[in-house]
């Protein structure tokens, strides 16, 4: 189940427009129109992106009259971060090895 949720989260994050919307929502709740405005996007286009983010659990929607207010839901981002952390360790070990090899080669060059 977590894998499917990660797939959905990463799919939603794959689009730069949706990442921009999330960054905007990190500053506070916004209407769909407010999310669309800086992107020069139609309300319908923004709504489609909001739906993808909503399906991924990355935001919450509430209705006030005819206005849909959108709020960031960071839980799935935390799950993605946990998954990514394992790869951080993987790359840190390899980069440390590379750094040691480069340093060893520099020392060999100095001795010549």
Would the pLDDT of 3 be above 70? no
Q: Is the pTM of this model over 0.85?
A: no
Query: Strand runs (DSSP E) across 1-112, as ranges?
Result: 30-31, 59-64, 67-72
Using CA atoms, how far residue 89 sits from 15, 66, 77, 92, 99, in Å, is 26, 47, 19, 5, 15
Q: What is the per-residue pLDDT across 10-19, written as a single tens digit (0 to 9) for each? A: 999 999 999 9
**CA geometry: angle 72, 73, 74, nearest 5 deg:** 105
- Give the total residue count for the chain: 112
- Assess contact for 69 and 30: CB atoms under 8 A: yes
**Could you tell me the residue ranges of all domains in the chain?**
2-111
CATH architecture of 2-111: Orthogonal Bundle (1.10)
pLDDT category, 92, cuts 50, 70, 90? very high
Residue 71 pLDDT: 97
């Amino acid at each position: 189940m977590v894998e499917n949720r990660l797939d959905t989260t990463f799919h939603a994050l794959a689009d730069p427009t949706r990442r921009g919307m999330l960054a905007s929502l990190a500053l506070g709740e916004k209407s769909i129109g407010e999310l669309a405005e800086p992107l020069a996007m139609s309300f319908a286009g923004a709504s489609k992106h909001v739906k993808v983010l909503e399906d991924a659990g990355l935001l919450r929607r509430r209705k006030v009259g005819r206005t849909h207010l959108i709020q960031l839901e960071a839980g799935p981002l935390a799950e993605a971060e946990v998954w990514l952390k394992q790869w951080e360790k993987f790359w840190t070990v390899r980069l440390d090895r590379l750094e040691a090899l480069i340093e060893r080669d520099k020392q060999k060059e100095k001795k010549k």
